[in-house]
Amino acid sequence: MAALSAKKALTVLMIDRDERFMVLALEEARAAALRGDVPIAALVVRDGEVVSAGSNRKERDPTAHAEIIALRRAAEAAESWNLRGCTLYVTVEPCPMCAGALVLARVDRLVYGCADPRAGACGTLYDIVRDSRLNHRCAVRRGVLERECARLLTDYFLERRKSRFPSGL
């Protein structure tokens, strides 16, 4: 069996790492669902270590998206707004607000699970994080554990509809 090239081996390691961190993000998203919030979660990772995590908490704050919370916590931990060298893992494609925050925070890389056809701003409706007119761009990897991320959202909203409209009303 031929040895893997260095580039191929690095790609395999990154895939394994991306999936490993997305599993952690999914755990955080499940916790959000248990407390009644939309199950979306984000992690900021630097040098293979989780720096911060966040999940949606939008009941009283429309800006309390998982990505914003994770970025704020990471900036606090780093004692700097500049998050170069970091990767943000999020279960759902970021919206325009969150994509803008990724650019402003200088995050190097974005990894997300499922696309958001209604508000996705990292390749679906817009592509803010890779817009060459802006002063920073992020590398993007989409579709990591996509089915699991999408299923978590679908199940959450199905349950929510059932509780709102019992007996199929």
Q: Classify residue 11: in a domain, yes or no.
A: no
The answer to whether residue 14 scores a pLDDT higher than 70 is: no
Block residue for tokens 């991320």: 149
Buried b (16+ CB within 10 A) or exposed e, 28-65: bbeebbeeebbbbbbbbbbeeebbbbbbbbeeeeeebb
The answer to whether residue 30 scores a pLDDT higher than 70 is: yes
Q: Classify residue 7: in a domain, yes or no.
A: no
The answer to whether residue 1 scores a pLDDT higher than 50 is: no
Please give the mean pLDDT across all residues of the chain. 91
pLDDT digits (tens, 9 = 90+) for 98-133: 999 999 999 999 999 999 999 999 999 999 999 999
**Rg of the Cα trace of the chain?**
17
Half-sphere exposure in the Cβ direction for 103 (13 Å, CA): 20
Q: Classify residue 10: in a domain, yes or no.
A: no
Q: Classify residue 145: in a domain, yes or no.
A: yes
Give the residue from 149, 68, 77, 78 showing the smallest Cα distance to 114: 149
Half-sphere exposure in the Cβ direction for 26 (13 Å, CA): 19
Length of the chain, please? 169
Beta partners for residue 87, in sequence order: 45, 109
**Which has more confidence, 32 or 160?**
32
User: Catalytic residue at 148?
Assistant: no
Per-residue pLDDT band at 32 (split at 50, 70, 90):
very high
Per-residue pLDDT band at 46 (split at 50, 70, 90):
very high
47 Rama sector, left if φ>0, alpha if ψ -120 to 50, beta otherwise: left
**Of 4-13, 18-27, 128-137, 148-157, which range is least confident?**
4-13
Q: How far is Cα 76 from Cα 44, in angstroms, rounded to an integer? A: 12
Per-residue pLDDT band at 97 (split at 50, 70, 90):
very high
Mean pLDDT for 84-91 is: 98
Three-class SS of residue 46? Answer: strand
Mean pLDDT for 25-49 is: 95
User: Which residues, including other chains, have CB under 8 Å from residue 21's CB and lie 6 or more apart?
Assistant: 43, 45, 50, 87, 89, 111
Q: Classify residue 6: in a domain, yes or no.
A: no
Predicted model pTM: 0.88
Q: Classify residue 81: in a domain, yes or no.
A: yes
Looking up residue 142, the CATH number of its domain turns out to be 3.40.140.10
Domain coverage including residue 152: 16-164
Q: How far is Cα 103 from Cα 144, in angstroms, rounded to an integer? A: 21
Per-residue pLDDT band at 45 (split at 50, 70, 90):
very high
Mean pLDDT for 38-59 is: 94
| Residue in 27, 59, 67, 159 annotated catalytic | 67
Q: Classify residue 121: in a domain, yes or no.
A: yes
- Position 5 scores a pLDDT of 59
Number of domains the chain contains: 1
Mean pLDDT for 82-97 is: 98
